[in-house]
Chains A and B, each alone.
Chain A
């Protein structure tokens, strides 16, 4: 019940295209859903996060869509750039401990 399932495992997109990464969860107690970007040899960097009281959040080229009834959330990267090539992790947390449960990661490659 603590799992967060992420897909696809890898994604190749042309420059200027839209990258879409999906996550699904089972634990209805999750109330915080962040996305992290990680470059090789670096720690994850917080990209954008959403809470279940909204269905969408946009920051620049990054948008989170959240579907509470389906227990799914997704990251959309508009106008994808080669510099966006990285591994993306979705995550979720619940309760006072705020431990993050991570998805398995998506390796995004944006072709020039």
Chain B
């Protein structure tokens, strides 16, 4: 199957610092990657859609200057949380759409961000 990895799996940072989360498609090329955040016992909320080589499209209410997304290659997208605050603490999950399939999205294992 299609495998998506995320790094790191957990990160704790101090308020005001920036954190970068990597999302990689390991065995396939992904023209499109998606970034979600998930609060405890809630559903996934789409933050942005990232297409390789172009600017990300952010969902309404998501600050693009705070959540910087870069999709530099067909196998790597990064999410940088800038000037993190405690309210940014959440579970961040990426997904990648398999080029050949057209529809299926495969999710990474998630990154637990805690801002102290």
Contacts and interface: CB of A to CB of B under 8 A. Distances in A.
Interface of A: 32, 34, 36, 41-46, 49, 51, 89, 93, 97-100, 102-105, 107
Contact of B107 (A41, A43, A51): A43
B104 interface: yes
B109 interface: yes
A93 B107 contact: no
Given A43-B93, A46-B104, A89 B43 contact: yes
Nearest to A43: B107
A105 B43 contact: yes
**Which label, helix, strand, loop or mixed, suits the secondary structure of the A interface?**
loop
Nearest to B44: A102
B58 interface: no
Interface residues of B, number: 24
28 contacts: A34-B104, A34-B105, A41-B91, A41-B110, A42-B109, A43-B93, A43-B107, A43-B108, A43-B110, A44-B93, A45-B107, A46-B106, A46-B107, A49-B103, A98-B32, A98-B103, A99-B34, A99-B46, A99-B49, A100-B44, A100-B46, A100-B95, A100-B105, A102-B44, A103-B43, A104-B42, A105-B42, A105-B43
B112 interface: yes
Interface in B6-39: 6, 32, 34
Contact of B44 (A89, A93, A97): A89
Contacts of A103: 43
Contacts of A32: 103
A46 B112 contact: no
A99 B32 CA distance: 10
B93 A98 contact: no
B62 to A, nearest CB: 13
